[in-house]
Amino acid sequence: MTKKLDILRIAVAQLNPTVGDISGNLAKAREARADAARQGADLVLYTELFLAGYPPEDLVLKPAFLKACEKAAQDFAADTADGGPGVIIGTPLKRKSGTHNSIVFADGGKIIAERYKLDLPNYGEFDEKRVFQAGPEIQGPVNFRGVRIGVPICEDIWGDVDICETLAESGAEILLVPNGSPYYRAKIDVRHQVVIRQVIECGLPMIYANQLGGQDELIFDGASFAIGSDKTLAFQMSQFEEAVDITTWKRTDGGWICSEGPMSKIPDREEADYRACMLGLRDYVNKNGFKNVVLGLSGGIDSAICAALAVDALGEERLRAVMMPYRYTSKDSLKDAEDCARALGCRYDIVPIFEPVEGFLHALTQMFEGTKEGITEENLQSRARGTILMAISNKFGSMVVTTGNKSEMSVGYATLYGDMNGGFNPIKDLYKMQVYALSRWRNSHVPPGALGPSGEVIPKNIIDKAPSAELRENQTDQDSLPPYPVLDDILECLVENEMGVDDIVARGHDRATVTRIEHLLYIAEYKRRQAAPGVKITRKNFGRDRRYPITNRFRDRG
């Protein structure tokens, strides 16, 4: 008969896997287990689909991928024959009942249990029903060295299915939950409330292990934690940082309590958003094998914060900033761009675009004869810059960082094959006023893990001056758009909150302005479909979360 443990040391492996890198993820899991063993752990809890990377999307439809994942799980299970800690690790498994989002529970050199996710999310950024089948039934707790452990998987604790309560009724003593929960602003509070609700209903303590790292648009921020059966925070791991932390649990007459574990401080809003953007850019560049990046440094706020993010994420030696002046580029912009590059310590080049733009205009003279000069000629400037950046990318293997914010992308104030060129956009889901807020924050703080310098890295003049694309004489963004505080509020109402025009007007906005912004939002969908991926920061980003038709005649007229 197995002797019951009265003290259980559980290591939470909050790590950064890479989708599809099964051998690399297995190596990372092994390294974490060895670390946990040195710290005296009995059990290591990994995150959702760790061996595959999360989300694996349609890779799950490839038999060879599933076979490789299962072999990695079996190999890892065999490692536990060394008498060290057992493991709970996520992997896809193909069984007679279907292909499941699963965990394997291994100890003593073998897999002692498999558990399958029951509640498959199919909203927002999730579409698991596309590639997985739900587990056929709720499976009971697993007996691990005399402790009965329930293992619901991520969405199993978020939905309305009484999985945790059923596990408690089946004899579970503690719940360990592997998660792949993406970041959005204030998401930690949401997770805490979800777990507290489940603890209230089932009466058991719950450990919430969350993935870390960037995967295309999604950022997994870690911040793993536990809620005790008394509904208080038992431990809190760091956000945006890899860690293998040991937590000590003791058996009492009233159940298991956490007697030891980390209690990390969670960053405030601006720091969290900035670090999410930084992590997303770093992982996109590194996981896709780019050695360095290039961006157009215009002297404006958007390109300045993207330059700061690039240096913080990758280091000054991996960023090439390029100023591409034309006749409308102001002396202030030339100075501000140079000052920004100097403050960041990155390479700075100047490539004038007068000759290519004039060449385009000359080639089109006959065709454009008799027409009025306007947006077409302005866009030629943007497209000349985009072509130059792509040429630098092709020549030197540098990924182009594109720099448009969410306010501009919402209303279509961006040029296809021009300033929209690029491989990744770290501020794609930040509204303009959020860009300003994060720029001010960065000038006063250096985030943990940043490779950039301290002090003012975004010159004050860039923050203070009126934003302008500088595509014609004395142009400012506010010539054709409402002030950004007004625009951003209207857009947040339309995009994040799906509010009707009447409700937005009731907030104090001008009706004509609201209906115009709604129209611009809808007609710019075709541009957004062709935009580079970028970090998800808000509850509803363009792409994974908000999927509107390009052809769309609906307008809200009350």
28, 70, 114, 117: the active-site residue: 117
* Two structure tokens written together for 153: 């998987």
Question: Judging by beta carbons within 10 Å of its beta carbon (0-12, 13-18, 19+), is residue 155 exposed, middle or buried?
Answer: buried
CA 249 to chain centre: 32
Q: Is 97 annotated as a binding residue?
A: no
- Number of neighbouring beta carbons within 10 Å of residue 363: 10
Q: How many residues does the chain have?
A: 558
**Looking up tokens 């401080």, which residue turns up?**
265
Q: Is 296 annotated as a binding residue?
A: yes
Q: Is 413 annotated as a binding residue?
A: no
Q: Is 181 annotated as a binding residue?
A: yes
**Looking up tokens 């240096």, which residue turns up?**
311
Q: Is 365 annotated as a binding residue?
A: no
28, 48, 69, 114: the active-site residue: 48
Helix (H, G, I), strand (E, B) or coil at 217: coil
CA 438 to chain centre: 17
**Cα separation of 272 and 275, whole Å?**
5
What is the DSSP pairing of strand 206-210 with strand 174-179? parallel
CA distances from 439 to 404, 445, 486 (A): 15, 10, 20
Q: Is 468 annotated as a binding residue?
A: no
φ/ψ of residue 250, rounded to 5: -120, 140
Instruction: Assess whether 117 carries a catalytic annotation.
Output: yes
- Number of neighbouring beta carbons within 10 Å of residue 206: 24
With residues binned 3-state (H G I as helix, E B as strand, rest as coil), the percentages for the chain, rounded to 5, are: 40, 20, 40
Instruction: Assess whether 48 carries a catalytic annotation.
Output: yes
Q: Is 54 annotated as a binding residue?
A: no
Q: Is 61 annotated as a binding residue?
A: no
Q: Is 297 annotated as a binding residue?
A: yes
28, 114, 128, 154: the active-site residue: 154
Q: Which residues contact 514 (CB under 8 A, 6 or more apart)?
A: 490, 501, 504, 505
φ/ψ of residue 407, rounded to 5: -60, -50
**Cα separation of 51 and 66, whole Å?**
10
Q: Is 300 annotated as a binding residue?
A: yes
Q: Is 336 annotated as a binding residue?
A: no
Q: Which residues contact 426 (CB under 8 A, 6 or more apart)?
A: 277, 278, 280, 281, 306, 309, 310, 313, 401, 534, 535
Binding residues for ATP: 296-303, 403
Binding residues: 123, 181, 187, 296-303, 379, 403, 408, 527
Binding residues for L-glutamine: 123, 181, 187
Residues with catalytic function? 48, 117, 154
Binding residues for deamido-NAD(+): 379, 408, 527
